[in-house]
Amino acid sequence: QAASSSRLLPRGMRWCTNNLQVLARLLQRSPPALSVAPQARVGRHRFLVVALVLTLVQAKRQPLTAAISAHKPSIVCDCLQLLQAHPGSSVLHVLLRKLVDAVIQVKPLRVSIVNASPSLQGIVASALAPLISSRAGARPLSATELVGRPSLIEIATALALCAQGDKQVKQTIEREEGWLALAGSIESLRATHIDGGLCGPPPPRQPNGNKPAGELGELLELLSRMPQSLSS
């Protein structure tokens, strides 16, 4: 019945339904390092695979949903592991947060990712464990780590909110080692890393007459003070 229903899908969706293992293998292939950027890169092909998985989830077509839910290991969790492997890729983070938001809206998909191995809650709890351990304050976070943490915290928040409305998800994620400690720390983590606690409130800016306020006004003020020989 699943095979017959998949025939009703557009050709591209039908191919993806029957070839999720190909997409999963592409996620495992790292691009070659560049001499100007020797650190590990996400790579365009892996980014596009994540974008494709997001599109398939958002389609909400039953054969696609069934195939993604049944795929082992979870292709959604394979995508999410890229976030931990590439904490400095903010563009990837935005895409993964959209993927999680889309997945938790579909019952079969959210149940599958919390029962996967590794599970969504396991990936997030493991990545954020240093922030909630007693020894976390001994080592300041690097700039790359600071870029990645807010996305992980947002994903943890989305999962915690999902669990409030889904008893099955709640019971499953609470069996994950480390999740309860993370769930109890989400509010403080958000206050520190997302809601302004890390950098403090923005500095006050006074309007300058009829000139634009904010950064544009400051830029115009600096330009007006430049010597005429430099501005001409």
Return the minimum-mean-pLDDT range out of 7-21, 33-47, 110-124: 33-47
- Tell me what pLDDT residue 129 has: 84
- Tell me what pLDDT residue 231 has: 46
Would you say residue 55 has pLDDT above 70? yes
Q: How far is CA 95 from CA 49, 100, 151, 223, in A?
A: 11, 9, 10, 38
Return the minimum-mean-pLDDT range out of 49-58, 71-80, 151-160, 215-224: 215-224
Q: Name the pTM for this structure.
A: 0.76
Q: Which residue has the higher pLDDT, 53 or 201?
A: 53
**For residue 110, what are the contacts with CB-CB under 8 A and spacing of at least 6?**
103, 104, 162, 166, 169
Write out the two tokens for 224.
């007006």
Q: Give the tens place of pLDDT for each residue, 95-119.
A: 999 999 999 999 999 999 999 988 9
Of the candidates 124, 174, 114, which has an alpha carbon nearest to the alpha carbon of residue 149? 124
How far apart are the C-alpha atoms of 193 and 215, rounded to whole Å? 24
Of the candidates 124, 128, 155, 156, which has an alpha carbon nearest to the alpha carbon of residue 141? 128
User: What is the number of alpha carbons within 13 Å of residue 207 lying toward its C-beta?
Assistant: 4
Residue 69, class by beta-carbon neighbours within 10 Å (0-12 exposed, 13-18 middle, 19+ buried)? Answer: buried
At 194, is the secondary structure helix, strand, or coil?
coil
Q: Which residue has the higher pLDDT, 23 or 7?
A: 23
